[in-house]
Amino acid sequence: MNAQPAKGGAGAYSWGAATSVTNYAPVGTTYQSVQSGGVVQQPSVVAAPAQNYRYSATSFPAIGGQVVQQPPVTYAAPPVTYAAAPPVTYAAAPAPVSYAAAPVAYAAAPATNTYAAAAAGSYPTSSIKVSAPVTITQSFEAAPPAAAVYAAAPPAVYAAAPPAPAPWRVKLGAEMPNFFCETTHGDFNFHDFLDSNPDCPWTVFFSHPKDYTPVCTTEIGRCEVLTGEFQQRGVKLIGVSCDPVEEHLGWSRDILYREQISKPEGEEFLSFPIIADSSKEIVVQLGMLDPDEIDAVGLPLPARALILIGPDRKVKLSILYPATTGRNFDEILRTIDSVQLTAGQGLATPVDWRQGDRCIVAPSVTTDDAKQRFANFAIEELPSGKQYLRSVDCPQL
């Protein structure tokens, strides 16, 4: 077996006579002396060749005629350990520098006294030598140009943006909005329809959820049957739902059939138009939706809304029923009677009032006035002794 070189000091190795030597010394080892047969070899440093880390025979000291060979050295790459990167702390951004608009004032430059050199020489006017006159010259350093001082710019004043118009809400006294209507009776603007018939200056505008649905079929049929009643009161009808005109027309035949109303072939229309609001723009604008009833694409269906519109295009009465509750059109007629009877008359109608029943005198009308204007004035006696429940015969309109 081979002799192992002895470590002779820090990083230095030496070994004695070797018979057969294989060097196990690591790269960079300095051999202080190598004795072989009494001959001391020159110190030598083990250097690693570039490629295979095996020492060539020539680069290594010969010992006793034998070449000391470096066994293959394998350098395991030490695991690289990266210290955790310290957290990066960003210094707070410097506050924006604001420059005061102070004008720069320069102090008056100090006078510099310059004394002209006195002319040399003697002055013949007397035997007294006088010194030459002294001239004092004052010179001033040029003052720096005055800093420009700008008046502070006036604060910008922006005109307030006009407020967005509030969405239309059904309110008593509100004027109905105008909108384009595609209907079973042709296309027109809603206001034009409101103003279209001097014999029927009032309008009942009502929505229904959907064509070819049972409750709607009974309601629209009832409207068709009551058309004459509405006309007698000076009222025209117009419906709206979100199906196309063709659907409205096809469904109208079912409605007429069911009410046993026959019309000439090709004219099987209802007596009043139905708006085709396929985009739902109108019912959305007018707040006529029932969130509990959803159509095939997940949108709410129209509710059963009804608005009585006066000759001035303003809302006189409004009701809003869910899609699942059909309206009572006798009640609609009754409310129309009440609205038309009482409007501006100083009258009101009591509970369950029907046309012809006694009417209530409004609190705004004095008893003397009511006695003069209406027939059979009466006051109901009450425990409070207050005379507020006053009634008269129903006036004939």
Q: Which residues are catalytic?
A: 216, 312
- Nearer to ligand BEZ by Cβ, of 209 and 310: the residue is 209
Piece of 4-12, 67-75, 205-213, 369-377 that binds ligand BEZ (CB under 6 A):
205-213
Give least dist CB 247 to ligand BEZ, A.
14
Residue 209 binds ligand BEZ (CB under 6 A)? yes
**Segment holding 149, helix H or strand E:** none
Residue 215 binds ligand BEZ (CB under 6 A)? yes
Contact track, ligand BEZ, 323-352, x by CB under 6 A: xx----------------------------
Q: In this structure, what token pair is assigned to residue 46?
A: 């083990």
Give least dist CB 289 to ligand BEZ, A.
12
For 196, residues 6+ apart whose C-beta sits below 8 A from its C-beta are 188, 236
- Nearer to ligand BEZ by Cβ, of 229 and 293: the residue is 293
Q: In this structure, what token pair is assigned to residue 148?
A: 């420009």
- Nearer to ligand BEZ by Cβ, of 29 and 207: the residue is 207
What burial class does residue 230 get, using C-beta atoms within 10 Å of its C-beta: 0-12 exposed, 13-18 middle, 19+ buried? buried
The sign of the torsion formed by the CA atoms of 353, 354, 357, 361 equals positive
Whole-angstrom distance, CA of residue 255 vs CA of residue 21: 118
At what angle are helices 245-258 and 214-225 packed, to 10 degrees? Answer: 70
- Nearer to ligand BEZ by Cβ, of 236 and 327: the residue is 327
- Which listed residue (22, 213, 227, 342) binds ligand BEZ by CB under 6 A? 213
Piece of 147-155, 172-180, 206-214, 313-321 that binds ligand BEZ (CB under 6 A):
206-214
336 contacts 307 by C-beta, under 8 angstroms = no
Give least dist CB 209 to ligand BEZ, A.
4
- Which listed residue (86, 154, 214, 298) binds ligand BEZ by CB under 6 A? 214
Whole-angstrom distance, CA of residue 230 vs CA of residue 224: 10
Residue 320 binds ligand BEZ (CB under 6 A)? no
Piece of 162-170, 181-189, 207-215, 374-382 that binds ligand BEZ (CB under 6 A):
207-215
Contact track, ligand BEZ, 216-235, x by CB under 6 A: x-------------------
Give least dist CB 294 to ligand BEZ, A.
10
- Nearer to ligand BEZ by Cβ, of 301 and 305: the residue is 301
Q: In this structure, what token pair is assigned to residue 67?
A: 């070449």
Give least dist CB 241 to ligand BEZ, A.
10
For 232, residues 6+ apart whose C-beta sits below 8 A from its C-beta are none
Piece of 209-217, 268-276, 353-361, 378-386 that binds ligand BEZ (CB under 6 A):
209-217
For 52, residues 6+ apart whose C-beta sits below 8 A from its C-beta are 72
Whole-angstrom distance, CA of residue 57 vs CA of residue 67: 6
The sign of the torsion formed by the CA atoms of 212, 215, 220, 221 equals positive
Contact track, ligand BEZ, 284-303, x by CB under 6 A: ---------x-------x--
Q: Residues touching ligand BEZ: how many (CB under 6 A)?
A: 10
Q: In this structure, what token pair is assigned to residue 312?
A: 């001035």
Q: End-to-end CA distance of the chain, in Å?
A: 139
Whole-angstrom distance, CA of residue 212 vs CA of residue 250: 9
Q: Which residues lie near ligand BEZ (CB under 6 A)?
A: 209-210, 213-216, 293, 301, 323-324
